[in-house]
């Protein structure tokens, strides 16, 4: 327990001191995320916070986990490093969705084939147990990539992705700690500690964003933890077995995962790429109904906690009925939100005309004299 707390503290301290330095460098080098018609912020903000998250998480994990005792972690760290460079490349120079997708597939391949992070069984969900190798591989790739993108896509307003990430990693970490799996507990709470430090600077009004560097890394770590949790918790040979582990694992990631699956489905049904940006995410729906960043973050956090509690207390129904219950309740809540009328008055941001200056080809660009003048107008 003390070992895990010390590791989380190290992650917090490293990130806490790294973020102000990153903000200073961004200001000196004039590296900012410029607002445009789709983005919600109205002033240039540094989007390199993922560097600080990665630094705290990675160094703390290396200090707290023995690769000799847990050899699979060397592949976890390799995949995390790959995702880090994909993210920072996308934050600095916009990558095409296909290049990002290929990078995510390669990172998933490292986890599946070398790190043994793989879904081999459905654990009774819909009456299914052991999966054929081909199905197991395909489902493992799909799960990892969807979870990675779930946190990338939910990172749309100040504090939301970081807050949900703190919740998920702390819940997974608590289970692994109670199940006497200290290495996975360290991995979980290292991310929790880094996110806690980052959120000090990210809550509305944000001084810095985590960017794709942080959100992709957060998704990767949650993919590792979720698959490991499901494979371990459903076994009767572990210290802390848990019924309906598949449904509980889904509930822990409920808000980002269900939002991503819903938005992907909408885009595909409309004949578009699932990675095409739009305004159908849950935080957009809540913003359109008058809530601000802080209330949306709190609302999504409480909803996710509610679904975790619902899954835990209904786990005796079995994985299939528990998951169906979660999906039914989520559908009813979403329908109620959609039926809620939008405020009559449009926000000032949506009323602003689009500027030609917003058509940039990079996410992080230097602030020129002309841009600064335009921002103050």
The binding site for Mg(2+) consists of 152, 212
Using alpha carbons, list the distances in angstroms from residue 347 to 43, 291, 342, 376: 16, 11, 11, 19
Q: Distance between CA 44 and CA 29 in Å, rounded?
A: 13
Side-chain half-sphere exposure of 333, counting CA atoms within 13 A: 18
Please give the structure tokens belonging to residue 178: 């109670």
Euclidean distance between the first and final Cα of the chain, in Å? 54
Q: Collapsing DSSP states into helix, strand and coil, what is residue 180?
A: coil
Closest CA to 103 of 118, 90, 117: 90
Count CB-CB contacts under 10 A for residue 1.
Answer: 8
Distance from C-alpha of 286 to C-alpha of 305, rounded to nearest angstrom: 18
Q: Is the Cβ–Cβ distance between 267 and 274 less than 8 Å?
A: yes
156 HSE (CA, 13 A, CB side): 24
Binding site members: 152, 212
In angstroms, the CA 219 to CA 84 distance is 11
230: left (phi over 0), alpha (psi -120 to 50) or beta: alpha
CA nearest neighbour of 259 among 277, 278, 276, 283: 283
Q: How far is CA 305 from CA 24, 167, 263, in A?
A: 36, 8, 22
- DSSP conformation class of 30: T
Evaluate whether 147 touches 230 at the Cβ level (below 8 Å). no
Distance (Å, whole) CA 81 – CA 350: 38
Structure tokens at 252: 């822990």
């Amino acid at each position: 327990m003390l070992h895990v707390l010390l590791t989380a503290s190290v992650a917090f301290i490293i990130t806490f001191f790294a973020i102000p330095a990153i903000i200073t460098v961004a200001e000196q080098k004039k590296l900012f995320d410029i607002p445009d018609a789709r983005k919600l912020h109205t002033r240039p903000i540094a989007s390199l916070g993922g560097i600080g998250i990665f630094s705290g998480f990675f160094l703390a994990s290396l200090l707290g986990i023995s690769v000799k005792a847990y050899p699979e972690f060397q592949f976890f760290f390799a995949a995390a490093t790959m995702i880090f460079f994909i993210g920072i490349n996308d934050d600095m120079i916009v990558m095409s969705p296909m290049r990002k997708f290929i990078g995510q597939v390669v990172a998933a391949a490292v986890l599946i084939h070398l790190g043994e992070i793989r879904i081999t069984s459905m654990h009774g969900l819909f009456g299914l147990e052991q999966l054929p190798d081909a199905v197991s591989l395909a489902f493992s790739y799909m799960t990892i990539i969807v979870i990675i993108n779930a946190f990338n896509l939910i990172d749309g307003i100040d504090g939301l992705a970081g807050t949900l990430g703190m919740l998920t990693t702390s819940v997974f970490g608590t289970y692994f700690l109670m199940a006497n799996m200290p290495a996975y507990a360290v991995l979980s709470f290292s991310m929790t500690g880094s996110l806690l430090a980052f959120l000090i600077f990210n809550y509305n009004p944000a001084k810095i964003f985590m960017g794709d560097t942080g959100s992709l890394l957060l998704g990767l770590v949650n993919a590792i933890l979720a698959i490991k949790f499901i494979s371990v918790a459903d076994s009767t040979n572990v210290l802390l077995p848990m019924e309906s582990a598949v449904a509980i694992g889904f509930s822990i990631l409920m808000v980002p995962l269900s939002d991503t699956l819903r938005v992907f489905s909408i885009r595909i049904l409309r004949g578009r790429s699932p990675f095409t940006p739009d305004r159908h995410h849950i935080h957009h729906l809540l913003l359109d109904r008058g809530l601000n960043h802080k209330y949306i973050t709190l609302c999504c956090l409480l909803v996710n906690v509610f679904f975790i509690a619902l899954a835990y207390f209904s786990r005796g129904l079995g994985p299939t009925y528990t998951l169906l219950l979660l999906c039914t309740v989520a559908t009813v809540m979403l329908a109620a939100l959609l039926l809620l009328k939008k405020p009559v008055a449009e926000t000032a941001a949506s009323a602003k005309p689009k500027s030609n200056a917003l058509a940039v080809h990079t996410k992080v660009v230097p602030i020129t004299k002309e841009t600064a003048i335009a921002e103050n107008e």
